[in-house]
Amino acid sequence: MTDFLQQVLNGISLGSTYALLALGLAIVFSIIGLVNFAHGELITACGYVMFAGYSVGLPWFVYAGIGIVGTVITALLMERLAFRPVRNASPLTMMLTSLGVSIMIAAAFETFVSPRVKAVPAPDWISSAVHIGGLRIQAEHILTIGVTAVAVLLLLLLLKKTTIGVAMRAAAEDFNAVRLMGIKANAVIVTAFAISGFLAGLAAVLILARRSAVNPHMGIFLGINAFVANVIGGLGNLWGALAGGFVLGFVEVALRAWLPVNLSGFTTGFVFLFVAIALVIRPGGLFSPKVAERV
């Protein structure tokens, strides 16, 4: 029983980071239909900004903050330099562009910083833990869950209560109708990228608190996980992405915990197999109803 609760806690914690990543991806997709393969590279970027901050001797919470700001800026640069020119192109062209961005960012860190792992230490308190019964609750769990809860709440407030947030929800339904309201298309898109960068930055800080190191290729798998979470929830569906993130977190934790030892290496394999099968059966995502295409 305690073991089960422990795994649930781990699942929520891991799922939280996936959910943050998935939400950012979903916001952008819902508005311009871009499947951003380079979303994971935002985490890498955050890691290297934090590494730079750490190198010059700043305290953790300062370089974590700078890391998040740097991530937002990276997201905005991606939008301006790579995605704006292909905004009206086919989904395949947009997707390939983002793949190019993903390759470039990872390669840039590899070329200009180092292909090797760089340390981004987290403060000691993050790995401290309290024991309640048999349950081991780490500060990192509480931080992750807390930050995610606050971020999701803020996002909810933004989307429900601010004009730009409402405009973003509207843009997901009918972009041109939003322009007919006199609302600037670029403002909506730029905000969407800024939010996706901010959420990715938060996720990156939390992930780095666990891993304490950054390497040029760390983003790609996290990005793929965000992707998978979206697919589970139905592409472009925000609440689906959130749920998908948690589902993915739980599945991963469960497989890791209960898969026989000789199969444990297959964890990611099983996750992706599950996703592939799910998609083949329900191409629209697990939580979305089947909708007929309008011709």
Rounded to a whole number of angstroms, the minimum distance from the CB of residue 229 to another protein is: 12
Among 2, 4, 59, 107, binds another protein (CB under 8 A): 107
Round to whole Å and give the CA distance between 245 and 230.
7
Residue 90, CB-side half-sphere exposure with 13 Å CA sphere: 3
Among 1, 163, 260, 290, binds another protein (CB under 8 A): 163
| Cβ nearer to another protein, comparing 8 with 170 | 170
Task: Return the bridge partners of 213, or none.
Answer: 119
| Cβ nearer to another protein, comparing 16 with 237 | 237
Q: Pick the closest to residue 232 from 219, 245, 216, 217 (CA basis).
A: 245
Task: Return the bridge partners of 119, or none.
Answer: 213
Task: Return the bridge partners of 217, or none.
Answer: none
User: Looking only at residues 123 through 162 of this chain, which bind another protein when binding is defined by CB under 8 A?
Assistant: none
Q: Under the criterion CB under 8 A, does residue 216 sit at the interface with another protein?
A: yes
Round to whole Å and give the CA distance between 180 and 160.
20
| Cβ nearer to another protein, comparing 34 with 143 | 34
Q: Report the chain's C-alpha Rg in angstroms.
A: 19
Q: Under the criterion CB under 8 A, does residue 176 sit at the interface with another protein?
A: yes
Write the binding mask 44 to 83 for another protein: x where contact by CB under 8 A, - elsewhere: --------------------------------------x-
Among 52, 95, 139, 259, binds another protein (CB under 8 A): 95
Among 69, 89, 142, 286, binds another protein (CB under 8 A): 89
User: Looking only at residues 185 through 204 of this chain, which bind another protein when binding is defined by CB under 8 A?
Assistant: 185
| Cβ nearer to another protein, comparing 57 with 88 | 88
Question: Which of the ranges 67-75, 135-143, 183-191, 248-256 carries the binding residues for another protein, by CB under 8 A?
Answer: 183-191
| Cβ nearer to another protein, comparing 26 with 206 | 26
From the centroid of its chain, how far is CA 182? 31
Round to whole Å and give the CA distance between 94 and 35.
7
The DSSP line for 220-250 is HHHHHHHHHHHHHH-TT-HHHHHHHHHHHHH
Round to whole Å and give the CA distance between 258 and 104.
38
Round to whole Å and give the CA distance between 42 and 30.
19
Q: Under the criterion CB under 8 A, does residue 295 sit at the interface with another protein?
A: yes
Q: Under the criterion CB under 8 A, does residue 260 sit at the interface with another protein?
A: no
Q: Pick the closest to residue 43 from 15, 62, 24 (CA basis).
A: 24
Among 71, 74, 102, 191, binds another protein (CB under 8 A): 102
For tokens 């649930």, what's the residue? 8
Among 2, 93, 127, 128, binds another protein (CB under 8 A): 93
Q: Under the criterion CB under 8 A, does residue 177 sit at the interface with another protein?
A: yes
DSSP 264: G
DSSP 13: H
Q: Which residues bind another protein (CB under 8 A)?
A: 35, 82, 85-86, 89-93, 95-97, 99-112, 115, 163, 166-167, 169-170, 173-174, 176-185, 216-217, 220, 224, 227-228, 231, 235, 263, 265-269, 272-273, 275-277, 279-280, 283, 292-293, 295
